[in-house]
A and B are shown apart, each in its own frame.
Chain A
Amino acid sequence: MSPPELHRSTLSNGLRVLIVPDPATPVVGVAVHVDVGFRSEPEGRTGFAHLFEHLMFQGSESLEKLAHFRHVQSSGGVFNGSTHQDYTDYFEVLPAAALERALFLEADRLRAPTLSVENLRNQVDVVKEEIRLNVLNRPYGGFPWILLPPVLYDTFPNAHNGYGDFSELEQASLDDAAAFFDTYYAPGNAQVTVAGYLDVDETMALVEKHFGDIPARPTPDRPSFYEPPLGSERRQAVTDAHAPLPALALGYRLPDPATDLDAYLGHALLGSVLGDGEAARLQRRLVHIDGLVTDVSAGAGLMGALDARDPDTFTITAVHPAAVDPDRVLSAVDEELDKLAAEGPSDEELARQVARWSAGLYQENDRVMYRMLGLGARELLYGRAEIAVELPERLAAVTPEQVRSAAATLRGSARAVLLVEPKGGEA
């Protein structure tokens, strides 16, 4: 398998372009990544970045409400958008015949979206239903991505709930939306990625044709969201009215992937050695030997590996019977981390985790949609889509010593402990 060709350009308005041809597929994907996520939303407007993502589907100068969905789907395509810590993406994947149409649809809303009071009110209702569905009306809603950050972080960008409080969503105004768009959706703050069956020169010309006349606007300064790590362990308990069993989440700070990718990947593979597969350290110890927990997982990144800039979170989560004291789980985790910090994983143990991870990356890259989103996100976040391409070999180069060092780093740092307690206790 040959690595994909990456073709880059920057339009005169500042929009970055990444084109990735694949002659073997009948489909093409277009993605717009905007350099704003929920960490950048203003205080008093929690959830606004995600709400704004919804508004971008509600029409634009050439497209009345509902037209975007209809044009994508009646061209045989699928679409979506998502809001992350540091970016928001919009994308569609369609039969290759619809490439120009997809570029037109994305350009029209990046140029002149229709922001109306009716659409704002309607989408506040839709987002509230999304939150009821995914958080409020189900067990372990928001666990741990909403619940853990306020324990590990102190500053508003890192600690707040990216889905938002209902009262703040309801206060969102049209002026908020206009200011948010003008500030963050400047072409110089965005990137378009096109992947799949395409001709590079023709695609570059089509991108210029549709996006080229969006006027340049000042791009916002991107603040650092760095804050000092915790000085000592911090615990917080929350009640979950729907949860049948207690759960816990541990949060640790990760190395900055932009400045120390190898240390970051050492942590990522530590997550695999701890949690992935029957032979993983915490699976064997907590589930099978001690029988302390029902399920356990560990990994780098609150919303996935290499999906955010610094600071990001290494998490360990477990669901356990009410009869088990959470401190027993914590000390067993610490013992396993101590073992790894002392001796590291064996060569074979690490090689197996790398093989599985590489296989997973191949599978991800087998779908135009995930390949495009992976390349686009790494290009936007770290300026190097190549990271997505090189990942199998970068992982293969991680040594047991790096994983040992990651375990030692976790043991030497203060962590956040979130305890989820069922309402009224559980026998």
Chain B
Amino acid sequence: MTRTAEQIAHTAPGPRPLPPLGATRAVPLPDVEERLLPNGLRVLAAHRPGIPMFELRLRVPFAGDAAEHPAVAELLTETLLTGTPTRDRVAIDDELAAEGADFGVSVDPERLMLSGSGLVAGLSDVLGVLADVLTAATHPDAEVARERDRLAERITMARAQPRTIAREALQRKRFGTHPITKEMPTEAEVAAVTAEQVRALHSTAVVPRGSILTLVGDLEPATVLAEVEKQLAGWTADHEAVELSPPPALVPGDLELVHRPGSVQSQLRLTAPGVGRSHPDYAALQLANLVFGGYFSSRWMENIREDKGYTYGAYSGVEFVPGGGVLGVDTDVASNVTAAALLETRYELGRLTAVPPTQAEVDAARAYAIGSLLISLDNQGGLASTISTLAANDLSIDWIRGHPARLEAVTVEEVAAAALRYFAPSAFTGVIVGDADVIGPGVRALGGVS
């Protein structure tokens, strides 16, 4: 025999008080040692013990204006680890695996990123493999041909994903034809790429000057810097890696309705101008964003998920782009509530400006921003990625050390000012992807949708 829901919900003593927070514990971040090698490569190293591992991030600025650049860059990425004069695809992977190591390579319109990790005892051998692929990758004809076919199939699969369709539509909508929008080549572009083009791009674009190598782990920074300098001395070029130019300023306007026949859900992707980490408004914008939709306890999430049940997830945040940042407001909702979700989203944007965040809302957002930063840095991988990203934006680990204090200093008035400046409904543009036959009349009736 079991109890009723009503019986379960109550105990004789009744509700209890929330315990207070205890003393906060500060664990200092490690110092980052840095060296600029003669070949122009910046190397950063930090000691972070706990596990006998290292994390590695090599960031190579990788912009290109040529129409074929995204497709060639993708194939370069796919074949970087498939052959050198002394190692074939299997030998490269076997040597890494023997040290518990793994490399992953990715490229986007801004940079090529080689991320790796491994047992720290094998770091020297892993750097040897890294040096070999950077200086001598041959991108063999057969490997390029095979990866070309696989890449085309993967692109077909990716473009079947509603979130990919929405992302591409959003990038076109806000940045037009700027190279930042070319996140994924077309199948035809991939099919046209030759192995010669891949090898040519490697020699002109995979270069040390302007690139940043970050190493974090159970390692001695000075020793590692010397080891890197020795092993990567042969990686040279007489020119600098190419940085992506800032995209054009975002122009507010109507949302564009993108038809995806048969869709049972719609993707709402709204966007507005934002700022980057170095901007004086950044900390206030970060807090205003959290209150709006940047975490679960946000106004928007509590409204459209926990009150209305329109969505599983709703998220807003700053996306960093060269020269600054843009705001993104993203949710996926069922077709039949798309118009209602758009209405509530605009309502919450307007409410953030007209009924600005209270002291309690700002304090909660602040505690979350500081605590989640602490948690994200409490592992080698998170620390390595953060140091690498900051360095790429000319910021050091001191930016992270100082950020909790910057967040503490933000006033409610400054959050209100940031809300007004960055979250005004009139600042936004964006896209709605869904079955236009089903959602079109409803969303158009609300206005501001074309």
* CB <8 Å contact, B21 and A61: no
Interface size for A (C-beta < 8 A) is 92
**A366-B374 contact, Cβ under 8 Å, with A96-B22, A104-B18, A137-B162:** no
Q: Inside 8 A of B5's CB, which chain A residues have their CB?
A: 115-116, 174-175, 177-178
Q: Which of A11-19, A67-75, A226-234, A335-343 contacts B (4 or more CB under 8 A)?
A: A67-75
Contact partner of B98 (CB less than 8 A), chosen from A101, A126, A178, A351, is: A351
Q: Inside 8 A of A183's CB, which chain B residues have their CB?
A: 2
Q: Is B302 an interface residue (CB 8 A)?
A: yes
A322 to chain B, nearest CB (A): 10
A186 to chain B, nearest CB (A): 11
* CB <8 Å contact, B97 and A77: no
Q: Which residues of B346-396 are within 8 A (CB) of A?
A: 363-364, 367-368, 370-372, 374-375, 378-381
CB closest chain-B residue, reference A362: B51
A33 to B34, CA, bound (A): 44
Q: Inside 8 A of A138's CB, which chain B residues have their CB?
A: 160-162
Contact partner of A359 (CB less than 8 A), chosen from B4, B118, B305, is: B118
Contact partner of B375 (CB less than 8 A), chosen from A93, A113, A137, is: A93
Interface centre among B100, B262, B308, B313 (most CB of A within 10 A): B100
Q: Is B320 an interface residue (CB 8 A)?
A: no
Contact partner of B371 (CB less than 8 A), chosen from A75, A115, A321, A363, is: A75
B235 to chain A, nearest CB (A): 23
B15 to chain A, nearest CB (A): 4
Q: Inside 8 A of B363's CB, which chain A residues have their CB?
A: 74
B77 to chain A, nearest CB (A): 14
**A363-B53 contact, Cβ under 8 Å, with A129-B311, A352-B97:** yes
**A27-B94 contact, Cβ under 8 Å, with A73-B297, A121-B309:** no
Q: Which residues of B9-27 are within 8 A (CB) of A?
A: 9-11, 14-27
Q: Is A21 an interface residue (CB 8 A)?
A: no
Q: Inside 8 A of A26's CB, which chain B residues have their CB?
A: 25-27, 374, 378
A419 to B14, CA, bound (A): 55
A294 to B154, CA, bound (A): 8
Q: Inside 8 A of A197's CB, which chain B residues have their CB?
A: 25
Q: Inside 8 A of A243's CB, which chain B residues have their CB?
A: 157, 160
* CB <8 Å contact, A362 and B310: no
**A245-B153 contact, Cβ under 8 Å, with A1-B52, A116-B5, A355-B119:** yes
Q: Which residues of B199-242 are within 8 A (CB) of A?
A: none
A175 to B150, CA, bound (A): 52
Q: Is A201 an interface residue (CB 8 A)?
A: no
Q: Which of A251-259, A276-284, A372-380 contacts B (4 or more CB under 8 A)?
A: A276-284
* CB <8 Å contact, A294 and B15: no
* CB <8 Å contact, A139 and B160: yes
* CB <8 Å contact, A363 and B117: yes
Q: Is B263 an interface residue (CB 8 A)?
A: yes
Q: Is B36 an interface residue (CB 8 A)?
A: no
* CB <8 Å contact, A366 and B18: no
Q: Is B110 an interface residue (CB 8 A)?
A: no
CB closest chain-A residue, reference B434: A137
Q: Inside 8 A of B157's CB, which chain A residues have their CB?
A: 139, 243-245, 294, 319
* CB <8 Å contact, A367 and B22: no
A173 to chain B, nearest CB (A): 10
**A112-B11 contact, Cβ under 8 Å, with A71-B18, A101-B21:** yes
CB closest chain-A residue, reference B99: A355
Q: Is B81 an interface residue (CB 8 A)?
A: yes
* CB <8 Å contact, A287 and B150: yes
B88 to chain A, nearest CB (A): 9
Q: Is B282 an interface residue (CB 8 A)?
A: no
Q: Is B408 an interface residue (CB 8 A)?
A: no
A73 to B368, CA, bound (A): 5
A47 to chain B, nearest CB (A): 14
Q: Inside 8 A of A130's CB, which chain B residues have their CB?
A: 312
A128 to B311, CA, bound (A): 9
* CB <8 Å contact, B9 and A129: no
A183 to B302, CA, bound (A): 30
CB closest chain-A residue, reference B101: A359
**A366-B379 contact, Cβ under 8 Å, with A125-B309, A291-B146:** yes
* CB <8 Å contact, A288 and B146: yes
Q: Is A84 an interface residue (CB 8 A)?
A: no
Interface centre among B22, B101, B368, B371 (most CB of A within 10 A): B371
Q: Which residues of A97-135 are within 8 A (CB) of B?
A: 97-101, 104, 108, 111-116, 121-130, 132-133
Q: Is B344 an interface residue (CB 8 A)?
A: no
A177 to B8, CA, bound (A): 10
Pairs across A and B, CB under 8 Å, 14 listed: A26-B27, A62-B15, A62-B16, A76-B367, A93-B375, A112-B8, A112-B10, A113-B8, A126-B312, A130-B312, A244-B153, A288-B146, A294-B150, A353-B97
Q: Interface of B with A (CB < 8 Å)?
A: 2-5, 7-11, 14-27, 49-53, 81-82, 89-90, 92-94, 97-102, 117-119, 146, 149-150, 153-154, 156-157, 159-162, 262-265, 295-297, 302, 305-313, 332-334, 363-364, 367-368, 370-372, 374-375, 378-381
Which 3 pairs of residues, A with B, have the shortest CB-CB distance? A76-B371, A125-B309, A359-B100
